[in-house]
Structure formats: C-alpha cells, structure tokens
Structure 1
C-alpha cells in the first residue's frame, strides 16, 4: 500500500491487542460471534430441516445457512489477520467497517428472496468490494483499480437487473422462489435474454475470461481484502447460477454453452498463470481458472458440486493470499518453468499420473455415484479429477522432493484430497435446495471434453511454451489496466 495514508513505523509493529482502535476490535469479535451463531443455525438445520422465511422478502434455507458459515469464517480470518496487517494505517477503521459491511451484505444476499432486494444487495456487494480495492485514498493506482472494478460491477448489476426484470415480466413473480416455481413456463426470446444476462452477470462477477481484467487490475487491494475477494466475492457467480438454476436448466443447449465458457476460462486461467511473474498475479490467474471449473460444474447441472468447489477453493485461496508474503521470501528465481510431468518426463512417470487419475475417478464415482453412467456425471468426474490432481501436483511441486519422488508423492496427496472432495460434495448436496439436473452426453459434450483434455495435457507438458507468438498473446491478455500499474518506485515508497 502507499505510505501516504500510513504512519511510518520504526521497529516492531504495535501490539494489536493493546493498541487497536475500538471499531476493529469490536467488529472482529462480532464476526466471530456471528460465525458461532451460524454454526448453531446450521446444526439445527441439519437436525430438523427447518426453513425460515419472511414471505416475499427473505428465505433461509440450507444453502443460506451453509454460506453464512463459510462467509463469517472467511471474514473472521480476514478481520483477525488485518488487526496486525493494518496496524498503524490511517484507513484501518474504514477498512474494518467496509469488510464488515461486505460480510453483512453477502449474508443478506444469500438469504434474499425478493428480486429487488437481491439486485440491490448484488449492487452493494460490488460497490463495497470496489471500495476495498481503492481503500488507500492517496494512491492513484489504487483509485484507478477501484474505478476499473466499479465499471465491471455496475455492468454485472445492470445485466442482473435486466435478467430479473425479464423474469418478472415472463412469470409475474417478484421473488426468486416464485421464479423457480414458474420456470416450467419459461421459453422464447424473453427467457433467452434473461438466462443470457444471468450467465453474463455471473461471468463478470467470477472474473471469467474475457471479463478477468478487473481481477488482474485489483492487486492494489490490501492483501486481506484480496483474500476476501478471491475466497468469497468471486464465488458470487456460482451462487447466482445456483439460485436461478431452474432458469438456466430450461434448455440443454444453454447448459452446454455454460460448460464451454467455463472450460475456456479454466484453460485460459492456467495459460495466463504460466506467464505471470509475481505471486499475486499468479494467484489471480489461478482464481480465473478455478472459477471456470466452478461454472463448468453448474453447466453440467451439478450445482451442489459448484458450491463444493467454491467452498474448497475459498479455503485454499484464502490461505494462499494470506501467506503470499512468506511465499515471496521462500521463492528464488529459476532457469525455467518446472513441470511435474514435462517434456523430459519418463513414460513410467506419465503412466503413474494417468493411473492415479483413473483410480481417483473410480474412487469419486464410488463415493458419490457420479460417473457410473454415460451422462453429464461422467464429465463431472473427469473435471473433478483434473482440478484435484492439478492441486495435488502443485502442492508436491513446491516441495524439495526430487522429480522421481514427486510421482510417488502425488497419489499420497491426491487420494485423500479427492476423497474429501467427494464427502464434502455429498454433504453440501444434501443442503443445497437444487437437485442435480443430469443430461445425456452428446457429440458436442465429447468434443468439449476432448478439447479440454488435449489442451490441458499440452499445458502440463509444456508444449505451449514453444510458441513465442502464444507467449506474447498471453502476456498481453494477462496485463492489468495500464493506469493501475506502478511505474515509479516512489509511488509505493512507504518511507
């Protein structure tokens, strides 16, 4: 952050327990209390299956209480972390107030049933996140980044407003539940406009390609705000598609299109990450790719899997951002891009990777019942295996093990990970009030899957690095907005 709004500190940071303003302390305790209350409500929900509502305004169902727990947990971590991170900053109290306000707005969003309330909270969520991105008032690049993000979020809110207005026009319903109940009557140009606008709004909020520019331009945000953004805010696209699942599942062609755009972002995010040189930039591109996986799962009709993915990704990405400083300290330049399976990998190593993936897919199928028949569940299993295997290999890659030892270590990480994924998926699916909508596989599904596997394998083996033209194209596509980039060290000099 810019030092223009910070007090110069010499020596150790102050004791946050004894030298914190009242507002950060009170809000931190309040958020953790909200987490405890949310866990209690979730336990009651699991035990009794209750649904509480204010008719026509809010409806508290399984997805609501689950997201309350997730949101307050991430927010509590960010609040606690920020008491040290923001120590001495003049914007400490406004920062905490904004983070807490964001938390409350998101909790309201997942409970909102009235269409107007849902749209208003969606808009407020975006504006608060834009404020966090530009929280440092004297830093021109931060203000530019906030402006970029704000434009994207206003576009997303405009598309959502268009979609909700069209759904109200088509169904006469003023609530999310009312629209869902009348989804069987939807069709024609009005439905297509509404469904298309919903998908576009979700893509912008989740920073899918080609709307990833705001995310890569938001690195001026304080690190805890980035953690909240990548662990929570971008997940809103999955929440939106889940809430309006009956609308987007009307036509299998639209669902296939959602799979395709999600797959493009999953591949694109991985490619963009390969040319990033800074830790936060790499994490941002990783988020773009992981949100692509989440949208793919929604497009396949498995909304419980999409929610599972956003939760697990949130835990992983929050940890990655909050520990990004130590990552910089422990990373030294290398001569090339490391691959756990690369051009020089042995045939035996590639075979181990393939067999590990197949065994993991079988385990997921046994635990969840998905992938045992020729329907979209087979693709779900395939994509879950890919994303989990990638995460396992990334974790092993950052160890000091030899290249040969990594092949043996990957299964040791992968099998527990995919087992946890399957268990969490089953538990989440029991809470999400949307049943899976499986579709029969078509030739187009096959083409999407083959293209995805071929491109992903090419990236893993480093084939894409042989093309200088591709490198330049990726470098250009992964650049943040020009006015958000530091061009002089003095703009970032805290002292």
Structure 2
C-alpha cells in the first residue's frame, strides 16, 4: 500500500458518519419511534400508512437531491438532521395509536419545519419566515392539544380508537367543541387563509425544504381529520366551516398562482389552492378521495419543487392556457359526466372526482397541441387516458380501505352546483392564462403581493 492509497483510505474513513451531540435529538426521536412500534402502541390505518409512506419516500429523495445542491452549504449537516427528524416525527404521527403521542409528534414536526424554513440563519427574510411559521404552528398546536384533552376526558382514554368509538356513539359537548379545534389545527398546518402567509414566506428557504413540506407536513391536516373523522362528523358546524374555508383557499390559491411570475411562488400558491380542495373533500365526507389527493399531490408537488431550481420559462403566456372553445368543451364534458354519476348513484365524491377529471382533460388537451405525428404521438396521447384509469383504480382501492362519512355534507345535486361554479371560474381562469382577458391592475397587484407582508428592514451596524 503506497502513501496515496493510505491517504485516500484515511480520508474515506474520516468521511464516515459518526454520531455527535447534535445528532442526539434525532436519535432520541428514532428511539421513541422504535419503542412505540416494539411495544405495540401503533395502529395501522389507511391514512396513517399513506402519511408515513409519503414521508419516507419523499424524504429519501430530497436527502439524495440535497447532497448535491447543498454540498457547498456549511449547514448541510443540520439540514440532514432536521429532515431526518421530520420524517421520523411524521411516521410516528401516522402510526401512533395514542392521541397524546400523535399530538407530541405533531408539535415536534412543526418545530423542525420552522427550523428548516429558517435554514439561512443570517438572512433576515429567512428568520422572519421562520418566526411567522412558528406563530402559525403554535396556534395550531394549542388547538390540537385542547382538542385532544377534551376528547380524552370525554372518552376516559387517550387511545385513538376509544376516542373515535366514544365520539361515534354519543356525541357530547366536548366532542362538538373539539371538532372546531381540530379544524383550526388543520387550517394552520395546511396553510389555509388566514394562515397561508407562513407558506408564501417560506420560499426564503432552500428548494429542498419546499419539497419536504409535501412529505406529509403541509398535507398532514387531511390525515388528522380523517383519523378523527367521527369527531368531525359529530359537529355539522365544524364541517360547514371546513367546507367554506376550503372553497376560499381553493379560489385564493388559484388566483395568486395566476399572477406569480416566480416558479416557486406559483407552486406555493398552487399548494394553498390544492390544500383547499383536499379539505373541502374531507368536509364532504369523501375520505378516500381526500386521502388519495394527499398522497398524489404530495408526490407531484415535491417533484415540481425539486425541478424548479433550474427552471427558466421563455415561452409566451398563451402556451400555458387553453384557447376557446376547449375550456367550455371540457367543462360541459365534466358536467355531463357528473350527471351520469348521479344517475348511477355513484356521486358521493362527485365534486373532487369532477375537479380531477377537469384537470386530466385539460392536461390531455394541452399535450395534444405539441404531440408529434405518428406512432410516438399516439402513444403519448394515451398517457392521460392511462392516468384517468390509474386514478380510478387507486380511488377504488382507497374506497375499499377507507370508508367515507356515514352522512355526506351535501347532496349530489348540491355538489353539482358547487362543481358548476368551480368550472365557471376555471373557464374564466383559462381566458386569463391564454391572454384573451386581463385582470385589473389593482387586483393583479394585490394578488402579486399576497403573502409578502411588508416588514421592517434590519439595521446594519457600521462596526468592523
């Protein structure tokens, strides 16, 4: 063995991971998860497995991605520790059978995410974003702790199964009070207005952090409400409030997405809108559709964020939208499909299914414009059809694993009315995106600066 080989071997041995004091909190969190699993204090549910699997998959991809993107960042080790801890806390939250343990994992994940948002510690914008995130998460944490305390006292147990059984059998005052608290916790975590500022300001963090948010963090509110579905169903007021805020978030997020020129800002606004769609689906009682939305949106949006760092858009705005008459044709097709579902008594999740169908049909129409001629073009044209079939198959599987609410919030025709309003707004949106219509300058300015609340600039000292 020559000197060069010895030097290389020594460097490789030195680069191996060794536990340090900074790793102790993550190791302790991992030990808690291992103890929870070995003692049998876990519950396997469709929502929990979906959340845990989503977190592990996206975190593994993001950590691999960040090794290259953050290779020159002196805080890359801290990022890896926080990301690993966030994944462990999310898995613990998804698999826990105890409400107190779930709440503890929820709180820990919020603190870890706030730390990730403030990754660039010397940058004032990052510190401000972390502070706003901590405030929003603290409000949600207090609401969740209050809900868990009320439910545990009413059921006489902190076991989630016992809490759900007690809420489903005899709804009490504690149950009806706890339901709105669960909704508040969900709104804060899912960045639903008025809590959407923390998500829009989190763009000060590196791109991998934005991707990690979709690894079961920002979409964990859907899991929470599905996990405590009997509690939510016990309060009609909470369900209506959730439905209303979901609609507001869907409209606001979609509107901001129209005007944001930066890729990450547009994706963050899209997340606000998509979380609104997910929560209104939960409010309707279509839990399988909401669960599939949580998983599919998390995977897709994390992929988009990871690719946004090197994205440069040089195409005209018209390339992003559908020109007439395609939006109207797609909207009418969706309405016809919704009426067919009503006639066949398969309309429990009519609203989310109709919105998903609209998205897939519009993607198909956009893809058709750039298809090459010949066999390759025909094969590409089949992709959206395959996506529709895949979504239908997965939704059927989710329905078998996760039942819907006993009582839907709206009748099928009520959902059809809401769907028609959304489709009308979507047609109007396509006119703006394609350049056929313009927003008023005042509205454009308001939407452009949504979430970017002015703050005082830091004072720099002249000391050497």
TM-score tier after normalising by the smaller chain length = 0.7 to 0.9
Instruction: Report matched runs for 1:109-258 at 5 Å.
Output: 109-187=93-171, 189-252=173-236, 254-258=238-242
Distance 1:62 1:381, change over 3 A: closer
- Is 1:22 aligned to residue 16 of structure 2? yes
- For the 8 Å contact 1:141–1:485, the answer to whether it is kept is no
Looking at both structures, which has the greater relative contact order when contacts are Cα pairs under 8 Å and sequence separation is at least 6? 1
Give the CA deviation at 1:427: 2.3
CA distance in 1 between counterparts of 2:405 and 2:162 reads 20
Instruction: Report matched runs for 1:411-450 at 5 Å.
Output: 412-432=382-402, 434-439=403-408, 441=411, 445=415, 447-450=417-420
Give deviations 1:167-222, integer Å, cap 9, x for gaps. Answer: 22333231211111111345465333211111111111111222111000001211
What residue ranges of structure 2 are gaps of 5+ in the alignment? 1-10, 20-36, 373-377
Give the CA deviation at 1:72: 1.1
What secondary structure is seen at the aligned counterpart in 1 of 2:261? Answer: coil
Q: Alignment RMSD, CA only?
A: 3.6
- For the 8 Å contact 1:265–1:292, the answer to whether it is kept is yes
Distance 1:74 1:246, change over 3 A: same
Give the CA deviation at 1:157: 0.5
What residue ranges of structure 1 are gaps of 5+ in the alignment? 1-16, 26-51, 403-407, 489-495
CA distance in 2 between counterparts of 1:24 and 1:276 reads 44
Give the CA deviation at 1:487: 13
User: What is the aligned counterpart of 1:284 among 268, 272, 281?
Assistant: 268
What secondary structure is seen at the aligned counterpart in 2 of 1:482? Answer: coil
CA distance in 2 between counterparts of 1:180 and 1:20 reads 52
Query: What is the match of residue 83 of structure 1?
Result: 67
- For the 8 Å contact 1:227–1:322, the answer to whether it is kept is yes
User: What is the aligned counterpart of 1:383 among 342, 347, 355?
Assistant: 355
Query: What is the match of residue 25 of structure 2?
Result: none
- For the 8 Å contact 1:53–1:59, the answer to whether it is kept is no
Query: What is the match of residue 353 of structure 1?
Result: 330
Instruction: Report matched runs for 1:473-488 at 5 Å.
Output: 473-476=446-449, 478-483=450-455
- For the 8 Å contact 1:255–1:299, the answer to whether it is kept is yes
- For the 8 Å contact 2:51–2:223, the answer to whether it is kept is no
Mean alpha-carbon deviation: is it higher for 281-290 or for 183-192?
A: 183-192
Give deviations 1:380-432, integer Å, cap 9, x for gaps. Answer: 422332344455567x39x8569xxxxx9997554322221111222233344
Distance 1:260 1:447, change over 3 A: farther
Give the CA deviation at 1:298: 1.0
Give deviations 1:70-95, integer Å, cap 9, x for gaps. Answer: 22111110111111111121111111
- For the 8 Å contact 1:300–1:380, the answer to whether it is kept is no
Give the CA deviation at 1:371: 7.8
Query: What is the match of residue 441 of structure 2?
Result: 468
Instruction: Report matched runs for 1:326-341 at 5 Å.
Output: 326-328=310-312, 331-332=313-314, 334=316, 336=317, 338=319, 340-341=321-322
Give deviations 1:229-250, integer Å, cap 9, x for gaps. Answer: 1343111111111111111122
Query: What is the match of residue 345 of structure 2?
Result: 373
Q: What TM-score comes out, normalization by structure 2 length?
A: 0.81
What secondary structure is seen at the aligned counterpart in 1 of 2:43? Answer: strand
Q: What TM-score comes out, normalization by structure 1 length?
A: 0.76
Distance 1:283 1:485, change over 3 A: farther
Give deviations 1:264-318, integer Å, cap 9, x for gaps. Answer: 2112111010111101000101111111111122112121211111111112111
CA distance in 2 between counterparts of 1:185 and 1:351 reads 47
What secondary structure is seen at the aligned counterpart in 1 of 2:202? Answer: coil
CA distance in 2 between counterparts of 1:484 and 1:54 reads 51
Give deviations 1:11-30, integer Å, cap 9, x for gaps. Answer: xxxxxx979953499xxxxx
CA distance in 2 between counterparts of 1:327 and 1:226 reads 15
Distance 1:53 1:445, change over 3 A: farther
Query: What is the match of residue 305 of structure 2?
Result: 321
CA distance in 2 between counterparts of 1:324 and 1:106 reads 25
Query: What is the match of residue 30 of structure 2?
Result: none
Query: What is the match of residue 102 of structure 1?
Result: 86
User: What is the aligned counterpart of 1:268 among 252, 259, 263?
Assistant: 252
Give the CA deviation at 1:116: 1.6
CA distance in 2 between counterparts of 1:424 and 1:20 reads 47
- For the 8 Å contact 1:145–1:218, the answer to whether it is kept is yes
- For the 8 Å contact 1:392–1:410, the answer to whether it is kept is no
Give the CA deviation at 1:110: 0.5
Larger radius of gyration between Structure 1 and Structure 2: 2
Distance 1:351 1:147, change over 3 A: closer
- For the 8 Å contact 1:213–1:480, the answer to whether it is kept is yes
